[in-house]
Structure 1
């Protein structure tokens, strides 16, 4: 009896994977998603320069081998992170997203730029300016006061502050994009 439940779950996951693959290959028959296709794939049009820069940074974080494309395995990994990733996995991704210059630390300007970009796409549910949010984050988690957030400061600080964790998680929630794709998949079945 337990095996049939596991079997049904595996069949459901295999079916879902097949639909994701079909969607991916329909949108990019070459099997490689370019930045332009990435934006089109997720319905992101007429973006401001700031929003476009954020989407470019997001694309780069999903392009794990840095070849300028997202292949199907990178796509699946990204969706898995968005749909099923744990808090620590998501925080690691957020850190990489915020560390725009790849220095291993997040400075105020990087964080402010990303927060503004995210809000240009997702809105501002907290009625707090991007500057105030950035300052609050640094005040709370820049423990050594050097004006940069190291990976350790970021991971520990966010996990220890429920309000910051909630705010970051909600501001970077991509489920509306995933739901849009799933809706398209359901209409093509």
Structure 2
């Protein structure tokens, strides 16, 4: 009996994977998602320059082999991170996303740029300005006061501050985009 249940669960997961694959191949028949197709795929249009730069950075972090495209395996890895990734995995990805220049540290300007971009994309107004939020983050977790957040400072600081962890997780929650795509998949769009 247990095998029948496990087998139907595997069949369901295989069916879902097939639907995601079909959606992916419908949107990019070449099997390689370009930046333009990435924006179209996730319904991101008419973005400000700041928001567009953020989405480009996000695209780059999902392009794990740096070839300028997202293939199906990179796409699956990105979805898995967004939907099922643990705190450590997500924080590592957030750090990479925030470290816009790839220096191994996040400075105030990089964090401010990302915070402004996320807010513009989410279209939500917040009590605290992006500048005040950025300053608060640095005040809380820039342990050595050098104006940059190392990987260690970021990981430890965010994990040890429940409010920052919750805010960061909520601001980068992409499940609404994934749900939109799932609706499109089920409706055959």
- Deviation per CA, 1:96-135: give whole Å up to 9, x if none: 0000000010000000000000100013454111001101
* Alignment root-mean-square deviation, CA: 1.1
> 1:159 maps to what in 2?
159
Deviation at 1:6, TM superposition (A): 2.0
Secondary structure of the residue aligned to 2:149 is strand
**Following the alignment from structure 1 to structure 2, what is the Cα–Cα distance between the partners of residues 27 and 15?**
18
Residue 143 of structure 1: SS of its match in structure 2?
A: coil
Q: For residue 94 of structure 2, what is the aligned residue in structure 1? A: 94
Q: Which residues in structure 2 correspond to 1:132-151 (within 5 Å)? A: 132-151=132-151
Distance, in Å, in 2 between the alignment partners of 1:3 and 1:147 is: 56
Helix, strand or coil at the partner of 1:51? helix
How much has 1:5 moved relative to structure 2? 2.4
Q: Distance in 1 between matches of 2:179 and 2:95?
A: 24
DSSP-derived class of the 1:179 partner: helix
Partner residue of 1:18?
A: 18
Question: C-alpha offsets along residues 23-77 of structure 1, whole Å, 9 cap, x if unaligned?
Answer: 0000000000000000011111111000100000000000000000000000000
The alignment covers a number of residue pairs equal to 189
Q: Which moved more, 1:3-12 or 1:136-145?
A: 3-12
- Once residues 6 and 147 of structure 1 are traced to their aligned partners in structure 2, the CA distance between those partners, rounded to angstroms, is 52
How far apart, in 2, do the equivalents of 1:135 and 1:68 lie? 33
Q: What's the TM-score, normalizing by structure 2?
A: 0.97
Rounded Cα–Cα distance in structure 2 between residues aligned with 1:155 and 1:121: 25
Tell me what 2:9 maps to: 9
CA distance, structure 1, for counterparts of residue 33 and residue 181 of structure 2: 15
Unpaired runs of 5+ in structure 2? none
Matched residue, 2:175: 175
Aligned position for 2:122: 122
Distance 2:8 2:145 in 1: 53
Partner of 1:29: 29
Question: Equivalents in 2 of 1:159, 1:4: separation in Å?
Answer: 41
SS in 2 for 1:81: helix
TM-score normalised by structure 1 residue count? 0.97
Q: Matches of 2:45 and 2:32 in 1, distance apart?
A: 20
CA deviation after TM superposition for structure 1 residue 3, in Å: 2.4
